[in-house]
């Protein structure tokens, strides 16, 4: 069988990149096999035959990881197959979604499903970049109407101490950037702008590469009739809302106005098609209004200046029993963050195709229905919650103390109590406060802000909006989230509703975001200027000890007998964790128990030296000497000749079981310790 392979080659980051189009997955509208180095993905796109009854464009992106891609058999003992997507896979499909969605006509109502299946991973080349290029090419050569192509590039830099400098992913069409994900270690705004420009240069090359393929083998795009409200419906809607729209936007009663409009149209005999059309007109008019007010009058719906942050409030130490808590309020957005500290044994085990390891810091974000005044069942974290939590974690991670500096596992939960604009950036602020309240030695406070953009498509004029909310978020052209300290940026995330933004727009937005961030940091620093000097009394005490790796076996004992014996001796109120390189962590809620356990471990690993004076009880009396218990399962032997000067006929004439003696170490050989009582007072 001939698969009719056509292979197109280029390079990305110095590694060979190829796109293969063949008969594989030929039932899809288009399929592309993408290779970057030895990382391989299959990208498919499918469009339904009929329009869906929907108020929005029904696009679905699925990023499917296969364990075999990394040569692993993963999962639980009883389930050795792929289950729900990992958080990392969800973040990857969000990245692709945000890159391709703005280039579809939002009036499209055909269901489109985009699927990326990771077939091979070489542990070097991130599947995200090749996945986006393969999907873009598949959409480009298919008959699906789309405004691409797009491409994305990853930029990674580490410092001399192997710490992260930045890890950034930029994507977009030929002349603009429409999606950004960046984690960094306090980089300056000018450096972020340079990364933006470098990404554009690489993206242009990849767009040229794709366009050649599309020109050669691309299908004719299907002509689809898009929803376009007829003039009669437009007139009915605008006549009804013209006197009330401005006030509804300012008073945040747009939902009430829309309900009144629909009720009026239903009572007038309009059908469901007319109501869907009316919804489009209603949203378009809000969009036009907020753009016009910002661009022509520099006015916002709530009366703020373009660069003005809403009212701020911060509080810490809200609860006695939690290890740390922080409340941050910005306008109507309220986030409560709670920090929990635990021993190293509480680290999260991570097993994906890209990594197997442990996660010491976790940040989980919750968005309950009541936070936006709605009802509904709680179904656990969705893609939005996972994405927001990951972004907030990126923002904080660079400022966390190392495990040597602060040997705790750290979990923060950010609870959204009320939401009206960028709860993710408010989560960064609340998390920073909560960590410091818990005594985590955070190097400095981190704050975040969401920036918006209004663009005049005819003139190219634009206005940057600080701290977007409500209609500005929904109807604006950009949602740019920037987090950082007073000294630099730690995280950036951006998505847009337009084709993309220019370098000039990005630079202006970052400068305005910095001023807002500094303003927010002042409120946070006034509330809690530095970490608490001590952790909460309800948090476990953790003591550490570095031992030689050769001593680990002695602490653990045969079958874990020694280590479990120490834990039992402390009434199971402690935990002992030992890392491969010899770091010992002893933790528990009873500080005295922790200290006692540490002393026992010290005794087990103690290196005795000749001439050293030791002390302990006589454990056993033998015909030829006595055994001294040195603690920690160690003992020393006093030969009868070393009990005292002169001849000793009976050992018990000198010492008896239970006597506490001081002795000098006279010999250390193969772990055996020889002692003497001679000359000891």
Among the candidates 217, 245, 277, a domain finishes at: 217
SS3 category, 660 = strand
DSSP for 316-332? Answer: E---SSSSEEEEEEETT
Q: Report the half-sphere exposure of 643 (CA within 13 A, side-chain side).
A: 23
Q: Is residue 670 part of a domain?
A: yes
Among candidate residues 486, 504, 527, the one where a domain is terminated:
527
**131 and 248 both lie in a single domain:** no
Residues 88, 21 share a domain: yes
Q: Is residue 505 part of a domain?
A: yes
pLDDT at 77: 65
pLDDT computed for residue 649 by the predictor: 86
Residue 393 CB-half CA count within 13 A: 19
- CA 362 – CA 381 distance, rounded (Å): 14
Shared domain for 199 and 245, answered yes or no, is: no
Q: What pLDDT digit, counting tens, does each position of 127-182 carry?
A: 999 999 999 999 999 999 999 999 999 999 998 777 899 999 999 999 999 999 99
On whether residue 225 sits in a domain, the answer given is no
Digit-coded pLDDT (tens) for 41-95: 999 999 999 988 887 899 999 999 998 888 888 766 666 777 788 899 999 999 9
Q: Could you tell me if 433 and 469 lie in one domain?
A: yes
Residue 535 maps to a domain: no
In a domain, 209, yes or no: yes
Final residue belonging to a domain, choices 240, 268, 297: 297
Residue 631: what pLDDT? Answer: 83
If asked whether residues 326 and 469 sit together in one domain, one would say yes
* CATH number where 65 lies: 3.30.230.70
- Check residue 401 and report its DSSP letter: P
| DSSP of 163-201 | -EEEEEEEEESSS-B-EEEEEEEEE-HHHHHHHHHHHHH
- What CATH code is carried by the domain that includes residue 617? 2.40.50.140
Q: Contact 166/195 with Cβ under 8 angstroms?
A: yes
435 and 560 together in one domain: no
Q: Residues 357, 494: one domain?
A: yes
Do 270 and 179 lie in one domain? The reply is no
CA distance linking residue 369 with residue 681, whole number of Å: 76
Using omega within 30 degrees of 0 as the cis cutoff, is the peptide bond preceding 645 cis?
no
Q: How far apart are CA 516 and CA 467, in angstroms?
A: 8
Residues 466 and 510 placed together within one structural domain of the fold = yes
pLDDT at 378 (0 to 100):
82
pLDDT tens-place string over residues 341-399:
999 999 998 888 887 889 999 999 999 999 989 998 888 889 999 999 999 999 999 99
Structural domains counted in the chain = 5
Find all residues with CB under 8 Å of 300, minimum gap 6, and list them. Answer: 293, 294, 306, 465, 472
Residues 495 and 580 both lie in one domain: no
**Could you list the residue range(s) of the whole structural domain that residue 659 is in?**
613-676
1 located within any domain? no
The verdict on 514 and 545 lying in the same domain is no
Identify whether 354 is part of a domain.
Answer: yes
Q: In the chain, which stretches have pLDDT less than 70?
A: 1, 75-79, 681
pLDDT at position 76: 65
Determine, yes or no, domain membership for 169.
yes
CATH number assigned to the domain comprising residue 585: 3.30.1370.10
Judgement on whether residues 429 and 516 belong to the same structural domain of the protein: yes
């Amino acid at each position: 069988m001939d698969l009719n392979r056509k292979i197109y080659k280029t390079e990305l980051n110095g590694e060979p990149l190829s796109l293969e189009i063949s008969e594989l997955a030929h039932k899809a509208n288009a399929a592309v096999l993408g290779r970057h180095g030895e990382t391989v993905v299959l990208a498919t796109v499918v469009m339904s035959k009929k329009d869906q009854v929907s108020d929005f464009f029904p696009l679905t992106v699925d990023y499917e990881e296969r364990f075999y891609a990394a040569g692993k058999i993963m999962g639980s003992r009883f389930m050795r197959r792929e289950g729900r997507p990992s958080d990392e896979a969800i973040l990857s499909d969000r990245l692709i979604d945000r890159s391709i969605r703005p280039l579809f006509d939002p009036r499209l109502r055909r269901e489109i499903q985009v699927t990326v299946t990771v077939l091979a991973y070489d542990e070097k080349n991130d599947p995200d970049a090749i996945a986006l290029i393969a999907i873009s090419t598949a959409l480009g050569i298919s008959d699906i109407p789309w405004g691409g192509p797009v491409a994305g590039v990853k930029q990674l830099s580490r410092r001399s101490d192997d710490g992260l400098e930045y890890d950034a992913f930029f994507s977009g069409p030929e002349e603009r950037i429409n999606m950004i994900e960046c984690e960094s270690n306090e980089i300056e705004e000018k450096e972020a702008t340079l990364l933006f420009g470098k990404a554009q240069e690489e993206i242009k090359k990849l767009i040229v590469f794709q366009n050649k393929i599309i020109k050669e083998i691309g299908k004719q795009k299907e002509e689809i009739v898009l929803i376009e409200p007829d003039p009669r419906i437009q007139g009915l809607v605008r006549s009804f809302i013209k006197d009330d729209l401005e006030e509804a936007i300012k008073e945040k009663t747009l939902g009430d106005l829309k309900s009144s409009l629909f009720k009026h149209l239903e009572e007038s005999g309009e059908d469901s098609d007319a109501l869907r059309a009316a919804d489009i007109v209603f949203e378009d008019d809000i969009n036009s209004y907020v753009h016009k007010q910002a661009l022509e009058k520099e006015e916002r719906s709530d009366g703020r200046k373009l660069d003005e942050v809403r009212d701020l409030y911060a509080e810490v130490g809200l609860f006695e029993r939690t290890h740390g808590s922080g409340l941050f309020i910005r306008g109507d957005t309220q986030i409560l963050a709670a920090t929990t500290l635990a021993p190293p044994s509480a680290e999260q085990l991570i097993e994906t195709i890209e990594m197997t390891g442990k996660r010491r810091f976790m940040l989980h974000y919750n968005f309950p229905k009541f936070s936006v005044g709605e009802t509904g069942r709680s179904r656990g974290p969705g893609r939005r919650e996972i994405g927001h939590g990951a972004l907030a974690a990126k923002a904080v991670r660079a400022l966390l103390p190392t495990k040597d500096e602060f040997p705790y596992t750290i979990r923060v939960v950010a609870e959204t109590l009320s939401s009206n604009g960028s709860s993710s950036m408010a989560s960064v602020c609340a998390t920073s406060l909560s960590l410091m309240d818990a005594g985590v030695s955070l190097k400095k406070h981190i704050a975040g802000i969401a920036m918006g953009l209004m663009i005049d498509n005819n003139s190219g004029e634009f206005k940057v909006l600080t701290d977007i909310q409500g209609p500005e978020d929904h109807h604006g052209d950009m949602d740019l989230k920037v987090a950082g300290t007073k000294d630099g940026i730690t995280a950036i995330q951006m998505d847009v509703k337009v084709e993309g933004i220019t370098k000039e727009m990005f630079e202006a937005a970052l400068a305005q975001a910095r001023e807002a961030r500094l303003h927010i940091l002042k409120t946070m620093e006034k509330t809690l200027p530095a970490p608490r000097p001590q952790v909460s009394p309800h948090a476990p005490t953790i003591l550490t000890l570095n031992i030689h790796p050769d001593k680990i076996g002695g602490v653990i004992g045969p079958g874990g007998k020694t280590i479990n014996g120490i834990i039992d001796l402390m009434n199971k109120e402690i935990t002992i964790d030992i890392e491969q390189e010899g770091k010992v962590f002893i933790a528990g809620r009873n500080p005295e128990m922790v200290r006692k356990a540490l002393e026992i471990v010290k005794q087990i690993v103690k290196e005795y030296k000749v001439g050293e004076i030791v002390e302990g009880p006589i454990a056993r009396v033998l015909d030829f000497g006595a055994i001294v218990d040195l603690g920690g399962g160690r003992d020393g032997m006093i030969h009868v000749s070393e009990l005292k000067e002169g001849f000793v006929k009976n050992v018990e004439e000198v010492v008896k079981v239970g006597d506490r003696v001081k002795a000098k170490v006279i010999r250390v050989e193969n772990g055996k310790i020889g002692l003497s009582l001679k000359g000891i007072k």
